[in-house]
Amino acid sequence: MKAYEYILAKQIHWALNQGISLVGSRGKRGRGAYTHILEENLFEPLDPDVRKHFETGDGGEINGSRNKPAKMQAVHSSSAFLRYSSVYSRSAPERFNAFLIRPMIENALPS
């Protein structure tokens, strides 16, 4: 198994163990790796300024639709991971390794 597939499988497993149901990249179609709502994939809500920044962008990071979840709803979202890693590395370095994006820290890496 390639590293990406291994990490993705662990992230999906984490979400399901937390009672978070997942949908595919096209709602009922695609691999179930997206949370129903963005907040299920984040430790904390996005700051209002950060949310506004993402909402005005054209990358679809937090603006999903009924048939297509936002990119940041993916358990493997690099934008969520980078957002949280930059916030915690600056604001709470002692918590940096403990509180990134939820599934990336709890079960993503082999023990």
Q: What is the mean pLDDT of residues 55-61?
A: 82
* First-to-last C-alpha distance (Å) of the chain: 16
Per residue in 2-16, pLDDT (tens digit) is 888 888 898 899 899
> What residues does each domain of the chain span?
3-106
Q: Which residue has better confidence, 46 or 110?
A: 46
Pair of tokens at residue 20 = 């978070």
Local structure of residue 72 (DSSP, 8 states): G
Would you call 74 helix, strand, or coil by DSSP? strand
Residues forming a β-bridge with 29: 26
The pTM of the full predicted model, rounded to 2 decimals, is 0.70
pLDDT, position 63: 86
